[in-house]
């Protein structure tokens, strides 16, 4: 079994255990195990063969025995027993937005609901509203969730959702009585896709926000207007939850509603050990109403003897331990990016000309940039013939002479052929400043073949950067079959950078793989793959993804000053 399959088995076990009312510590343990296994750089089967399972953080003898059971039989007895205990329709309920294992267990145990159809009928007939923690609004949310589930509505991409949230926040900030507005939730943590959008506002009267939202043309409905919370739907169905809090609780609420749940649970446990109580209202002395922190996130973390932890790291993946030890990474930021090394023009399949892209990069204050058209084999994207590329080299060199505030490098996004060779001859590649290699065809090949193909390209000594290494399109196309740990190992051996492609549908490498690359000493290149001037702003999504992977400025080639970058480019040949 692959690591991903084993991780899914542990996630499923955690869901079933939560439905069954199991101890939350055990449930959380299995969820953490699933994330750990998914992020391993080597096949877990090889670790088992070497007797190294229990050396993986968070994996003890009990979990190791379950991993061995999966590897030996392809299934977990514990999962099978729980599946036999519950009807199959119960698992489908978990796919309803906002309807997790606790609610599934509640409706099953209290109302004997065993399928999506029965749940829908119960909500329509008013049977859910008397259950603990539910009510008429909950019934409506369940019905909306079922509808969304049946329509197969996908989560919104970070690149779509975050700008919407920020624009709405700017509008709400103008409402009289609102002192401050901030984005929270998974969008603030920079997750690649977003379910609901969470926002906070500092004010006294939520009705001011409610009335304002009802006037906005892109808000389809305001379906909840409570004492502290306003919920609405955008025209595309995206749900936005806005909580209005007093100034003294803003920091605590911002921390709490940013999440993740796992990070918050770990912080609450830390608070308890210190005789404190932590919630969305603040940090309090246990057993009293005396608030000792809450106005700012910094104060909340300080009350728990921790420095402020960047939102992108809040996944309970070692960030609290790193903070306690004074070893939090100094994460890469937008101000560290000195240039963009992957973009296209009208010479291939893009919308802007060379000088338009240059002006776009100048407007962003970049020190350098690289024009990198597709190579000849990618005819569908207007790949350049060797003669066309030779002509473009001369033109770009000429354009570069006209600017003294930005260096325009010439490169190419060169296809990796099925045998691992590159799509241009060596004598042409030698004339380029930047060579990016990419797999654009043959996605259906098996993992061994694609991995060997990519490694062979890196071993030519001509490649500086491997673009969008796993080939995924979020929600549209799964990654290639690829042994990413072997690709990372080869990148380290050849001093080849791996790209964090900032295009919102790619974000490839993803955050977990960024962290694996960093641990292996592999450099990254955060690039936009821009096909228009407007797409240059995608850089922020690549930076957010890198930050989630614990990446620092020194791990990224396009944070280097130009002179150092040129030395690195020459050194990789």
What whole-number distance in Å separates Cα of residue 451 and Cα of residue 433?
26
Long-range contact set of residues 472-477: C-beta below 8 Å, sequence gap at least 24:
472/506, 472/508, 472/510, 473/505, 473/506, 474/157, 474/192, 474/193, 474/504, 474/505, 474/506, 474/507, 475/154, 475/155, 475/157, 475/193, 475/505, 476/505, 477/443
- The CATH 3.30.460.10 portion of the chain extends over 156-245
Q: What is the pLDDT of residue 4?
A: 66
- Mapped onto helix, strand or coil, the DSSP state of residue 182 is strand
Question: Whats the size of the chain, residue-wise?
Answer: 573
The highest-level CATH class for domain 334-571 is alpha beta
b/e sequence 465-504, b meaning 16+ C-beta within 10 Å: bbbbbbbbebeeeebbbbbbbbbbbbbbebebbbbbbbbb
**Annotation: CATH topology of 156-245:** Beta Polymerase; domain 2 (3.30.460)
Superfamily of domain 256-324: DNA polymerase, thumb domain (3.30.210.10)
**Across 485-503, average pLDDT:** 97
Q: Which residues contact 24 (CB under 8 A, 6 or more apart)?
A: 18
What whole-number distance in Å separates Cα of residue 206 and Cα of residue 203?
7
- Other Cβ atoms within 10 Å of 295 Cβ, number: 16
User: Which tokens belong to 45?
Assistant: 């089967």
Mean pLDDT of the chain: 90
Is residue 370 within 8 A of residue 341, CB to CB? The reply is yes
Residue 34 or 237, more confident: 34
DSSP 441: S
Q: What is the pLDDT of residue 247?
A: 93
pTM for the predicted model, two decimal places: 0.76
Residue 137 or 389, more confident: 389
Helical H segments across 125-183, by residue range: 136-151, 158-172
b/e sequence 177-187, b meaning 16+ C-beta within 10 Å: ebeebbbbbbb
- Kindly calculate the radius of gyration of the chain based on its CA atoms and give it in whole angstroms: 26
List, for residues 258-287, the tens digit of each pLDDT value. Answer: 999 999 999 999 999 999 999 999 999 998
List, for residues 314-349, the tens digit of each pLDDT value. Answer: 999 999 999 999 999 999 999 999 999 999 999 998
Strand partners, 283: 278, 293
DSSP 535: G
User: Which tokens belong to 556?
Assistant: 């990224």
**Annotation: CATH topology of 3-151:** DNA polymerase; domain 1 (1.10.150)
- The CATH 1.10.150.110 portion of the chain extends over 3-151
Q: What is the pLDDT of residue 152?
A: 42
């Amino acid at each position: 079994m692959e690591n991903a399959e084993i991780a899914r088995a542990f996630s499923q076990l955690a869901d079933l255990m939560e439905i069954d009312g199991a101890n939350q510590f055990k449930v959380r343990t299995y969820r953490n195990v699933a994330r750990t296994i998914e992020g391993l750089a080597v096949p877990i089967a090889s670790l088992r063969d070497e007797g190294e399972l229990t050396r993986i953080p968070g994996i003890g003898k009990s979990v190791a025995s379950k991993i061995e059971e999966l590897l030996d039989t392809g299934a977990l007895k514990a999962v099978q027993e729980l599946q036999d205990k519950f009807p199959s329709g119960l698992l489908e309920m978990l796919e309803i937005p906002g309807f997790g294992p606790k609610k599934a267990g509640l409706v099953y145990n209290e109302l004997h609901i065993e399928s999506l159809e029965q749940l829908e009928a119960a909500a329509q007939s008013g049977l859910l509203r008397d259950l603990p923690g539910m009510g008429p609004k909950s019934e409506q949310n369940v019905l909306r969730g079922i509808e969304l589930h049946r329509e197969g509505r996908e989560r919104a991409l970070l690149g779509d959702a975050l700008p919407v949230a920020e624009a709405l926040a700017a509008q709400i900030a103008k409402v009289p009585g609102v002192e401050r507005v901030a984005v929270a939730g998974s969008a603030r943590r920079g997750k690649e896709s977003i379910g609901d959008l969470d926002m906070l506002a500092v004010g006294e009267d939520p009705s001011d926000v409610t009335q304002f939202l009802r006037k906005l043309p892109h808000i389809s409905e305001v379906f909840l207007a409570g004492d502290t919370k306003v919920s609405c739907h955008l025209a595309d169905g995206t749900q936005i939850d806005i909580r209005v809090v007093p100034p003294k609780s803003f920091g605590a609420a911002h921390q709490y509603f940013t999440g993740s749940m796992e990070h918050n649970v770990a912080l609450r446990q830390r608070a308890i050990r210190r005789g404190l109580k932590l919630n969305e209202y603040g940090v309090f002395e246990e057993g009293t109403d005396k608030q000792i922190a809450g106005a700012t996130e910094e104060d909340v973390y300080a009350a728990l003897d921790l420095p402020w932890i960047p939102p992108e790291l809040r996944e309970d993946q070692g960030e609290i331990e790193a903070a306690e030890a004074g070893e939090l990474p100094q994460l890469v930021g937008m101000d560290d990016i000195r240039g963009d090394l992957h973009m296209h023009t009208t010479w291939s399949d893009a919308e802007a000309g060379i000088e338009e892209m240059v002006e776009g990069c100048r407007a962003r204050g970049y020190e350098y940039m690289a024009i990198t058209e597709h190579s000849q084999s990618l005819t569908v994207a207007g790949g350049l013939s060797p003669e066309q590329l030779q002509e473009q080299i001369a033109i770009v060199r000429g354009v570069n002479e006209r600017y003294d505030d930005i260096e325009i490098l010439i490169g190419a996004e060169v296809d990796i052929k099925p045998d691992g060779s590159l799509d241009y001859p060596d004598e042409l590649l030698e004339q380029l400043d930047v060579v990016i290699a990419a797999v654009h065809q043959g996605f259906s090949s098996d993992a061994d073949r694609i991995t060997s193909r990519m490694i062979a390209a890196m071993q030519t000594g001509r490649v500086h950067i491997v673009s969008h290494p796993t080939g995924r399109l979020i929600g549209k196309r799964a990654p290639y079959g690829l042994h990413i740990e072997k690709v990372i190992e080869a990148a380290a051996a050849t001093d080849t950078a791996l790209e964090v492609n900032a295009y919102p549908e790619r974000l490839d490498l993803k955050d977990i793989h960024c962290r694996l690359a960093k641990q292996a000493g592999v450099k990254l290149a955060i690039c936009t793959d821009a096909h228009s001037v407007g797409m240059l702003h995608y850089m922020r999504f690549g930076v957010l993804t890198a930050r989630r992977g614990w990446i620092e400025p020194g791990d990224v080639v396009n944070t280097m000053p130009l002179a150092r970058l040129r030395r690195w480019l020459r050194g990789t040949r």
